[in-house]
Amino acid sequence: MMGTIKVHEFITLDGVIGAPTWTMEYGFTPEMGESIGGFVEACDAILLGRTTYEEFAPAWATRSVEDDPGAPFMNETPKYVVSSTLEHADWKNSTVLGGYDADAIRRLKDSVDGGIYVSGSGTLVRALLADGLVDELHLIVYPVTLGTGPRLFPEGAPKSSLKLAGSRAFGNGVLHLTYNPATR
């Protein structure tokens, strides 16, 4: 059995994914946690780009289940970091894969039975999408536009055809949209 790559992004209506401080005014509801937990629980590995790894490691490494129900998953699950500059990864169960290589990601998918969770990691996710390696795209869409910032699908990005696999609206106006590649 081959693993599946499940990408999770907090995103604005105009496609901005960077530094999601803009999510704070909407809160993080129990329903949102359940929705994200629903696809994360089927994951056996985490794949991150360098920047997200460097943000997540200090934020998660000291958390316990009492602090956040997602802490055991984030800390105990094997993590793979795509980076051409990071030489070592100190966060528990972390391995540096080296620079982006679509074939290396395919080999990782072949070696994992369950899902591979990707959060944030915009540069990595854009490459995974371009190479057809994303199996599920989970967009947590916030009802706000920012006008500027890094976008998931920037100007000039290759065409991606997706099909809606699921949707859920939360009471705070946020949506969870799940997409699969249209060709599958």
- Which pLDDT tens digit goes with each residue over 116-144? 999 999 999 999 999 999 999 999 999 99
Q: Does the pLDDT value for residue 184 go beyond 60?
A: no
Average the pLDDT over 12-18 and give the result.
93
Ranges of H-type helices in 20-121: 30-40, 50-60, 71-76, 102-111
First to last CA, the chain: 16
Please identify which residue in the block is written with the tokens 């854009």: 126
Assign 105 to helix, strand or coil: helix
For the stretch 104-137, what's the b/e string if a residue is b when 16 or more beta carbons lie within 10 angstroms of its beta carbon?
A: ebeebbeebeebbbbbbbbebbbbbbeeebbbbb
Rounded to two decimals, what is the model's pTM? 0.94
pLDDT in tens, 69-107: 899 999 999 999 999 999 999 999 999 999 999 999 999
